[in-house]
Amino acid sequence: MLHHHVKTIRAGIRSRDKLRILVSLLLSRTRSEVALRAVLPKLVNSISEVMDAVIKGVHVNVDGVKYVLVDEESPGIVSNEYEDWIWRRLNVKDEEVFLDVGAHIGKYALRIAKTVKTSKVVAVEANPENFNALRTGVKLNGLDNVIALNLAAWNTSQAMKLYLSSYGGRHSLKANHRMGYVVVKAEPLDQTLRRVGLDKVDWIKIDVEGAEGEVFRGLRQTIERCRPHIIFESRSNLNLPELRYLRRLGYKFEIIAAHPDFSDCIAVP
């Protein structure tokens, strides 16, 4: 555990980043001790809020890729250990196009764009705060092969409420966390890809907190034309009508990681 903390602190790019990471780790330890005593639950929440404020905007370097953090969950998300089963299956090659739906702060989009320099990455993120961190990450890494889009993937074009969560990776168009919302632009990605001038997609990653069905419906033309590999979350035991449609197109499905409430899956043509 100590080694992990030292590694996390060293990831900070600037001296103030390292200091803020250290403060966040100390606050995390304090929160755990308070929680174990099962008293003062409001204090636990207050410590969490302070941790988010401390870590927000910190710049880190993870194996040569620079990220901007948005909350206390972010350091774990950008680590190589987080969702390592996806890295084992996400194999974007030279000249291929990767569409990252629900890109968050760019864990996948930035690394693929930087390590596969001839690739083209389209990173779609609905939350404005996450998107600003993503866009800053593109600049920090000096990337010119990323198209970053601040919109929500859906099956129709409209303005929608994006319900906020205490963690930046869990904002949702469908699940109301009772923490307020922001109004975002939503549209089908078939339309989006035409607008940015892309006529092919080789890989798609979808992580949209329960809105997978709507995303698939908005991507049908692209999927049918390009037959990309698709890595996605499923909260319905692979029984979405859209997935039955993909089966009719000859896609095969595999669960690559099972969780209590959902599974990470890959669909291969």
CA–CA separation, 51 and 63 (whole Å): 24
Torsion angle defined by CA atoms of residues 87, 187, 243 and 210, in that order, rounded to the nearest 10 degrees: 70
CA distance to 120, 186, 190, 219, 247, per residue, from 242 (Å): 26, 19, 15, 10, 9
pLDDT in tens, 78-121: 998 899 999 999 999 999 999 999 999 999 999 999 999 999 99
Give the residue among 113, 162, 153 at the shortest CA–CA distance from 135: 113
Tokens, residue 106: 């760019």
Single-letter code of the amino acid located at 101:
V
pLDDT in tens, 116-146: 999 999 999 999 999 999 999 999 999 999 9
CA distance to 57, 76, 215, 237, per residue, from 261 (Å): 30, 20, 19, 10
Please answer whether residues 206 and 233 qualify as being in contact, where contact means their C-beta atoms are separated by less than 8 angstroms: yes
What is the distance, to the nearest Å, from the Cα of residue 264 to the centroid of all Cα atoms in its chain? Answer: 13
CA distance to 28, 83, 166, per residue, from 100 (Å): 31, 15, 22
CA–CA separation, 140 and 144 (whole Å): 11
pLDDT attached to residue 4: 58
Tokens, residue 102: 């629900």
The pTM of this model reads 0.93
E strands present in the chain: 59-62, 65-68, 97-101, 120-124, 146-149, 152-153, 158-163, 181-187, 203-206, 229-234, 252-258, 263-268
pLDDT attached to residue 1: 44
Residues contacting 224, CB < 8 A, separation 6+: 249
Residue 29: exposed, middle, or buried by beta-carbon count in 10 A (0-12, 13-18, 19+)?
Answer: exposed
Single-letter code of the amino acid located at 229:
H
CA–CA separation, 215 and 190 (whole Å): 10
Single-letter code of the amino acid located at 124:
V
Per DSSP bridges, beta strands 252-258 and 152-153 are unpaired
Residue with tokens 């929500």: 152
Tokens, residue 222: 């692209």
Structural domains in the chain, CATH included, are 2-75 (no CATH), 90-268 (3.40.50.150)
pLDDT attached to residue 2: 43
| Residues of the chain below pLDDT 50 | 1-2
